[in-house]
Amino acid sequence: MSAETASTEAASDAQIVSCEPATGAEIWRGAVCSVDDVVERARRAWPGWAAQPLSTRMELVRRFANEVRKEAEPLAELIAREVGKPLWEARAEVEAVVAKVEVSIRAYAERTSQRKLDSALQGTMALRHKPHGVMLVLGPYNFPAHLPNAHIVPALIAGNVVIFKPSEKAPATGELLARCFHRAGISTGVVQLAIGGPLEGQDLVAHNGVDGVLFTGSANTGISINRRLATRPDKVVALEMGGNNPIVLWDTPKVTDAAALVVQSAFASAGQRCTAARRLIVKASLHDAMMAEIKTLADRIIVGAPFDDPAPFMGPVIDNAAADGLAESFLYLLSNGGKAIKHLIRQDENLPFLSPAIIDTTALKDRPDVELFGPILQVIRVDDFDEAIAEANNTRFGLAASLIGGSPQDYNRFWAHVRAGIINWNRTTTGPSHSAPMGGIGLSGNHRPSGYYAADYCAYPVASGEMEQPRAMIGVGLR
């Protein structure tokens, strides 16, 4: 047997294994895909799908929504098991998958509407849109159904076919989501599941048969994709990355409500949301009273397995490696001048359950500008509002920011000067509306927001000058 043959056979035998964070038990395993085969099937399927009337494509994604409704509870239970989020939160994710369909249909009609401008002498100027072709969707693990679906459905409506590579940490959810598309009558070539790890993802990104890459995940991976495709302007690339998101707490009589907004922003999904608040910037004169309220509420948070009774607010983080990294990060902050308000506690050394943690990092000379993807909230005390805005902008990221309290004039200043793609007032940093764009600036994105604006990167505009008969003359410069 040649070395090349042995290598090919070894690759074909490779498998991805998914385990429950809450128990460590294996729940799924599957073979790694052949990248070339996946792309070849997608390219064969694209002409037929693109030729379908728009009304047909819309009807098929509506059937997909109905299939998800039928599988709502099994899908929610699978999400809860595979990524560790509480069952109530997994159910909310399934509802978001269904809701995305009608939002995407409405958004496509609005963002890519056909237009015609008539002129008697110049004929007609028409604007229509075309699909790109084969779109690669790289899904994250924190919302393993909703976030990839937010790329897949708009891509399908526009007439693209999709290669869907779920996170290697959530392949079972990806498989069930793909099955719902197939049961709706969308073929396995039009929505194709590609199981694999980082290597397969890199090969798909660089493959000549892929026309676009739609990514949701970490800044490091997004930068790697951007670098890999720097010489390929022919490929559309939409990067939705994370954030070192600030939440500014200012004058407010609603102390209890403000504390709830901070805790929800920082600790929902065990802090594993790209929009989660990582930094609490608080007016110094409010610090003691507000932190007492926030800590009291954080101390009441139930951390547990997805199906526990009473239901937990937080489940585990995705795996032990993530838990170890977060524990090391908290220790680093503590060793470099941070003061623990609420310690990060590992409940079981063998499982990735972490308590919500709060640490005052005001005294840190050089606060690390990183996305700590878990339940760690850094507190920074400031004396005036200009300092609060400057601190909010003290990051290379720019995804979400929120002001809690303050006057309308304060919010106007905050909105005008804070650099972020999502800016809220007296709302959490998390949970953006389905009917709004979702994306950021800096290391949080590449100016191709998803959400309601996903249609913008799923189809390209074509301007056409049209006349039913040729009519022209040259009036200058002829002998």
How many C-beta atoms lie closer than 10 Å to residue 272's C-beta? 24
Predicted pLDDT of residue 120 = 61
The reply to whether 64 falls in a domain is yes
Give the SS3 label for residue 110. Answer: helix
Give the β-pairing of 339-342 and 422-425: unpaired
Max Cα separation, the chain? 92
If asked whether residues 201 and 315 sit together in one domain, one would say no
State whether 206 and 253 are in the same domain.
Answer: no
> Which residue, among 191, 88, 200, has the nearest Cα to 148 in the 3D structure?
191
SS3 100: helix
Confidence of residue 432 (pLDDT cuts 50, 70, 90): confident
Q: Flag whether 476 is in a domain.
A: no
Give the per-residue pLDDT at 472: 85
Q: What is the pLDDT of residue 469?
A: 87
Average pLDDT estimate for 9-29:
86
Q: How many CB atoms are closer than 10 A to CB 113?
A: 10
Tell me which residue has tokens 């983080």: 317
pLDDT score at 41: 98
Catalytic annotation, residues? 240, 274
Residue 470 lies in a domain: no
Same-domain status, 226 and 283: no
Q: Which residues contact 228 (CB under 8 A, 6 or more apart)?
A: 202, 205, 206
pLDDT at 365: 87
Residue 3 in this model has a pLDDT that exceeds 50: no
* Residues whose CB falls within 8 Å of the CB of residue 119, separated by 6 or more in sequence, listed in order: 125
Which domain CATH number covers 169?
3.40.605.10
Q: Where are the beta strands (DSSP E) in 133-224?
A: 134-138, 161-165, 191-193, 212-216
| Dist. CA 246–CA 391, nearest whole Å | 8
Q: Are residues 237 and 249 in the same domain?
A: no
Supply the CATH number for residue 350's domain: 3.40.309.10
Residue 435 lies in a domain: no
Is residue 74 located within the same domain as residue 208?
A: yes
Alpha-carbon distance 340 to 363, whole Å?
12
> Which residue type occupies 280?
L
Judge if 252 and 191 occupy the same domain: no
Give the pLDDT band (50/70/90) at residue 5: very low
Number of domains in the chain: 2
Q: What is the pLDDT of residue 11?
A: 47
DSSP E strand boundaries for 67-133: 115-119, 123-131
In a domain, 108, yes or no: yes
- Collect all residues with Cβ–Cβ distance below 8 Å to 88 and sequence separation of at least 6: 311
Within a domain: residue 274? yes
What is the per-residue pLDDT across 208-267, written as a single tens digit (0 to 9) for each?
A: 999 999 999 999 999 999 999 999 999 999 999 999 999 999 999 999 999 999 999 999
What is the distance in angstroms between the CA of the first residue and the CA of the last residue of the chain?
Answer: 76
Taking 90 as the threshold, does the pLDDT of residue 56 lie above it? yes
The verdict on residue 2 lying in a domain is: no
Are 399 and 242 a contacting pair, CB within 8 Å? yes
Same domain, 233 and 286: no
Contact 230, 223 (CB under 8 A): no
Q: Please tell me whether residues 220 and 251 are part of one structural domain.
A: no
CA distance 145 to 181: 12
Helix, coil or strand: residue 329: helix
> Which residues, 6+ apart, have CB-to-CB distance to 433 below 8 Å?
451
Q: How many CB atoms lie within 10 A of CB 5?
A: 9
Which residues form the domain of 352? Answer: 245-425
Q: What is the pTM of this model?
A: 0.95
Q: What tokens appear for 312 in the block? A: 């937990």
What are the phi and psi torsion angles at 30 (to 5°)? -160, 160
Residue 438 corresponds to which tokens in the numbers above? 């979702």
With 90 as the cut, is the pLDDT of residue 4 above it?
no
Shared-domain flag, residues 179 and 302? no
> Do the Cβ atoms of 436 and 93 come closer than 8 Å?
no
**How many residues in the chain?**
479
Q: Is residue 478 part of a domain?
A: no
Same domain, 199 and 253: no
Contact between 99 and 452 under an 8 Å Cβ cutoff? The reply is no
As a whole number, the mean pLDDT across the chain is 95
**404 and 282 belong to one structural domain:** yes
HSE-CB at 477 with a 13 A cutoff on CA atoms is: 2
Tally of CB atoms within 10 A around 247: 27
**Do residue 259 and residue 353 come from a single domain?**
yes
| pLDDT for residue 363 is more than 80 | yes
